[in-house]
Amino acid sequence: MLKEKFALTDQGAKDLKKGIVSSVFAVLSLMFPIGVLVMFLMAQISAFLGIGDESLTLGRYLPLCVALLLFIFITHYIQYRCTYIAAYEESAKRRIGLAEKIRILPLSFFGQRDLSDLTTTMMTDCSDLERIFSYTLPQLFGTAIVSAFICIVLFFTEWHMAFAVSWVLPVALLVVVASKKLQDHFDRQKIASKLASADGVQEYLESIRDLKANNQTEPYLKELDCKLDRVIHASIRYELVSGLLLTCAQMILRLGFATTILTGAVLLGQGEIDLFLYLMFLITASRIYDPLSGVMMQLGEIFNAQLQIERMKEIEREPIQQGKAECNNHGVDICFNHVAFRYQHGENVLSDVSFTAKQGEVTALVGPSGGGKSTTAKLAARFWDIQKGSITMGGADISKVDPETLLENYSIVFQDVVLFNDTIMENIRLGRKGASDKEVIAAAKAAQCDSFVMHLPDGYHTLVGENGSTLSGGERQRISIARALLKDAPIVLLDEATASLDVENETSLQTALSHLLKGKTVLIIAHRMRTVMGADKVVVLADGHVAEEGTPNELMNKKGMYYNMVKLQQKASGWTIGKQ
């Protein structure tokens, strides 16, 4: 139950049970001094009335007090070991588990969740839950169990007084539980406003160049201020509502002390209880309500934590791409057979697409924007799973192969290059872990990186900054190509791989690629028709289906869509800036 309710690992559930047991003893240890105090007061009153040992002094209780202090220290030390340290270890496992889950999720998942949402779940939510599992939950169970035990003992002692002490507990608890939906409503508003503000800040940092260029910085910041104000207002509303309801519950608890005094006074006056019993109930009542007030607050924290846990469970419930660890392919021909695909809750991007990219040939995907070229290339590497048809690699259905096993056969260069805040050497080595420096440099030279790397302060050991911020677009593109060349996989996917390069570098890089890509299955996406003139096969995609297919010469002779695209680009190449 604990594992399912609070999204814990097996070890985390065991540690939580240990934490609860240790908290029971820690809370119980704080109750023992009350018993000692009651015993001492009774002895003093008895001595005063002449019905006890007149020689009884505080000194006789000192050894017992020292023993109790030692017991309190030991129980609280064990509680700390079983709660805080275990909670931090569980938090680390939770983050690693979420990261591992995200690693094996299909790309369709990331189209539905934005970056700040995932970051908040993995970092902020996990951090907040550390307090829940290190303190709140164990303390809640510990206090509740000890309080229930004390109430049972009180009922066996004198049920009228016990009822006077405990009747407020279910009433206060009912107020807190009944307010859960209201608290959840305002908590969701607070979370939504925080995510919106985080998105706004991230968007501002990513688009600050465009905002400045268009003189839109001030209007954007005003809107961002409004988002931040909404976070403040949502947080105040949540704290006000939850604080008001919890305060009401705590006020109800305090009524129990008044009823205890009144009930005890009546029973004492009627002679149904004696003074010692009356004092015992008064002292117990004065002590029991403080930890129970804490329980009410802890319940509110747990209600809040349930929303955070649910966000994590949503990620854990996401279906993953599965498959065999062996590929069993014969060759690396890529065959699309009546493939249909759509993004989540969207219209079809591809409809009945069929073609074959053969090993040892360069197959070019061309067509108007939005025709499905990039989607087709990514489907070939199983970044998404298709809804209809099949895609095979060397005769093996890629939907039956584990994605990581499948991607061992692919080298991919995306149009949008991603570099890590590391050295150029390590960014290229990402293509093949364990590659020697000599192999990395060889791939870099083949990708025309050496010409600019040698001018950097530390050469291949120069840090490139966040996402290669210290490099130009063309330099980043060449590092990405070097990474793909280093991997040396039998299938190469190039998505506008030379789009950011100047004519001189593009020409020399294409010469290098033509030698290094021999014998591989090459699938390229290009908008420049001159880039695909040397391709073995051209597939024209338009409106999600194959409009034309053939060699560049065959398609030129057909004078269809490909022919028109070539002629339009040739006409555009003669356009110049000047007076009309």
> Dihedral (C-alpha) 521, 524, 528, 534: value to the nearest 10 degrees?
0
Sign (positive/negative) of CA torsion 102, 107, 113, 114?
A: positive
Structure tokens at 565: 């695209």
Asked if residue 56 has pLDDT above 50, the reply is no
Would you place residue 59 in the very low, low, confident or very high pLDDT band (cuts 50, 70, 90)? low
User: Whose CA is closest to 29, among 169, 142, 174?
Assistant: 142
Task: Classify 2-315 by CATH class.
Answer: mainly alpha
DSSP one-letter code for 578: S
Give me the mean pLDDT over the 519-535 stretch: 80
Write the CA distances from 347 to 295, 353, 544, integer angstroms. 51, 15, 10
Domain ranges of the chain: 2-315
Give me the mean pLDDT over the 67-82 stretch: 85
Evaluate whether 12 touches 21 at the Cβ level (below 8 Å): no
**Given this model, what pLDDT does residue 356 score?**
92
What's the whole-model pTM score? 0.68
| Span 222-269, pLDDT tens digits | 988 998 999 899 888 888 888 888 888 888 888 888 888 898 888 888
| Span 334-382, pLDDT tens digits | 999 999 998 766 677 888 899 999 998 889 898 888 788 888 888 898 8
Mean pLDDT value across the chain: 81
Decide: helix, strand or coil at residue 100.
helix
Evaluate whether 176 touches 296 at the Cβ level (below 8 Å): yes
Asked if residue 418 has pLDDT above 90, the reply is no
